[in-house]
């Protein structure tokens, strides 16, 4: 098998893994009354405040789709808006205390689920790290 063929198969496997992972992530998020889209936005905001366009860039999504999710999270009191000294019309978004707790619960449930599945599969931390290293090399040149 050539490198190109192996690469194509790896990418197909990564897409399949991402799809299966998204499905189980939707279930985990739903148990907390959220969606994966909301979880992703909350995750971006876990360390600092960002604008909607900045969140969209980090997630590789359109500004409009992130704006809709952000508005829902603000309406629920999970995210708050604050003034942005760099751009008056693009407020900064940050997690509220409720939002931090919601994200903590989702991540804890996800970690427990993933740990259990990885143990069943017999996948080690070293194997995961090696896979990440390989993907990192590919990402750096693509």
Task: Report pLDDT digits (tens) over 59-90.
Answer: 999 999 999 999 999 999 999 999 988 888 89
pLDDT of 13 > 90? The answer is yes
pTM given for the model = 0.83
pLDDT of 110 > 90? The answer is yes
pLDDT cut 90: percent of the chain above it: 93
Q: Tell me which residue of 73, 72, 128, 125 sits closest to 103, measured CA to CA.
A: 73
Count CB-CB contacts under 10 A for residue 10: 14
């Amino acid at each position: 098998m050539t490198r190109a063929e192996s690469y194509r198969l790896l990418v197909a496997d990564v897409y399949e893994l991402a799809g299966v992972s998204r499905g189980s992530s939707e279930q985990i998020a739903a148990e907390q009354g959220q969606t994966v889209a909301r979880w992703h936005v909350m995750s971006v905001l876990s360390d600092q405040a960002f604008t909607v366009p900045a969140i969209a860039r980090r997630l590789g999504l359109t500004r409009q789709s992130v704006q809709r999710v952000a508005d829902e999270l603000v309406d629920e009191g999970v995210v708050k808006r604050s003034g942005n000294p760099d751009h008056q019309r693009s407020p900064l978004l940050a997690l509220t205390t409720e939002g931090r707790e919601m994200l903590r619960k989702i991540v804890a449930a996800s970690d427990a689920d993933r740990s259990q599945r990885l143990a069943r599969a017999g996948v080690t931390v070293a194997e995961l790290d090696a896979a990440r290293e390989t993907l990192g090399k590919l990402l750096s040149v693509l």
